[in-house]
Amino acid sequence: MAIVNRTPDSFYDRGATFHFDDALRRCAEVVEAGASIIDVGGVKAGPGDEVDAEEETERVAPLIAAIREQHPAVDISVDTWRAAVADAAVDAGATIINDTWAGFDPELVEVAGARKVGYVCSHTGGATPRTRPHRVLYDDVVASIIHTTTALAERAAGCGVPVEKVFIDPTHDFGKNTFHGLEILRRIEEITATGWPVLMALSNKDFIGETLDRPVGERVAGTLAATAWCAARGVAAFRVHEVAETVDVIRMTAAIQGAVAPLNTVRGLA
């Protein structure tokens, strides 16, 4: 799942794909690099300028329509917590609703069910959208994630979302500190054991930056290490900035497991 943000203040790319043509060009690049899902967002996840539903819709819906026209085989997800925005995005061609704020708008999952599109169930510990974690405590963060995301997944299926299109996302950094983020990785098999396909958004997150003491632009190696760890333990999808590198990590992990064959084997065989 490749990240394409139509925001001027993204924590990672600082607005590199805010302008429409830049965003559409980025979409072509990530499809060429191997992305099978493009995740379009119109509001920065963290604190920042207010963006109302109308403006968010204007940012995401035209881009989704253009992606659908140019890349008809690719799944498109819309990263939003607002039901009205999601509905407009599905009208434009989105096939997945990425609810990164854990059902803050209870009507969002109903839109996914009514429209028969995919739905990502996340965990934030009850945080309000666009707020940062502050002294967050859990008796057991993984147990909380499993309880919340599987309940959302069951609700999504009950609302009409096709079961095979429901993902659960532990949602690193949302309502969690770095110690929580590392514990999630150590215990990821407990989450994959729920049977719901797991989507992970690890890419250049703060928990990686704090673990390695690296600024935002120097977290790729840490991201790929965490990706390999999770790919080997059954995580189904990854929301990423560096698509080609992530595809290589996933393929290499699968080849080590014997799940896929090498792409070009000539050395020592002639």
Question: Would residue 233 show up in a list of annotated catalytic residues for this protein?
Answer: no
Q: What is the CA angle 66-69-74, rounded to 5?
A: 95
The DSSP code sequence of 188-256 is HHHHHTTSSPBEE--TT-HHHHHHHT--GGG-HHHHHHHHHHHHTTT--EE-BS-HHHHHHHHHHHHHH
Q: Can you tell me the distance from the alpha carbon of 18 to that of 14, in angstroms, rounded to the nearest whole number?
A: 9
Spatial neighbors of 10 by CB under 8 A, at least 6 apart, are: 16, 17, 18, 44
Local structure of residue 127 (DSSP, 8 states)? P
Distance of CA 173 to the CA centre of its chain: 12
Residue of 214, 239, 251, 267 marked active site: 239
Residue of 6, 155, 205, 219 marked active site: 205
Residue 80 tokens, joined? 């939003």
Question: Distance of CA 84 to CAs 36, 192, 241, Å?
Answer: 25, 31, 27
Task: Please state whether beta strands 237-238 and 118-121 pair in parallel, antiparallel, or not at all (unpaired).
Answer: unpaired
Q: Which helix (H) or strand (E) holds 96?
A: strand 96-99
Residue 202 phi, psi (nearest 5): -100, -20
Question: Would residue 239 show up in a list of annotated catalytic residues for this protein?
Answer: yes
Task: Annotate 145-178 with three-state secondary structure.
Answer: HHHHHHHHHHHHHHHCCCHHHEEECCCCCCCCCH
Q: What are the residue numbers of the active site?
A: 205, 239
